[in-house]
Amino acid sequence: MEDCNYLLDYYRLTADNRLLYGGGVVYGARDPDDVERLVVPKLLKTFPQLKGVKIDYRWTGNFLLTLSRMPQFGRLDTNIYYMQGYSGHGVTCTHLAGRLIAELLRGDAERFDAFANLPHYPFPGGRTLRVPFTAMGAAYYSLRDRLGV
């Protein structure tokens, strides 16, 4: 389950009936110093009844944001495929990607090709301005999320 905000949060139950909750995306070159301080307020806004519950695990990680926010699927060579750029929607989209690869391996490439044929654009500003432009854009969309726009 994920929300519709630009700076999204997501959650699901794990096989051992624990809550996996993620969010608190930071756009930039560094991981947050204290991931728990970043994520717990969002968790408690969604599930206030969890106040005081012990958090067993916490981590940070990178994600790939595409300019279109659509995942990138494609072929590098015969029987060499890639799926990347889930733009923070990997919990949901990787399941779709797995299904489309399974269809492709069974000989049905139609749905995989629909994604593979989407245009992909380079990020404006190249490597030099990628991080500052991303941070400015994220600040703008974060404000929109907070204002409910």
> Which run of H or of E encompasses 36?
helix 35-46
How many distinct structural domains can be found in the chain? 2
Predicted confidence at residue 28, as pLDDT, reads 61
How far is the C-alpha of 65 from the C-alpha of 121, rounded, in Å? Answer: 12
Whether 56 contacts 40, CB under 8 Å: no
User: In this structure, is residue 27 part of a structural domain?
Assistant: yes
Rounded-to-integer distance, Cα 20 and Cα 136, Å: 29
Between 91 and 42, the higher pLDDT residue: 42
Computed over every residue of the chain, the mean pLDDT equals 85
What is the reported pLDDT for 27? 64
Q: Grade residue 58 by pLDDT with cuts at 50, 70 and 90.
A: confident
Where in the sequence is the domain holding 33, given as residue range(s)? 1-61+127-149
Looking at the structure, tell me whether residues 55 and 2 fall in a common domain: yes
pLDDT digits (tens, 9 = 90+) for 85-144: 888 777 778 889 999 999 999 999 999 999 999 998 887 888 888 888 888 887 888 788
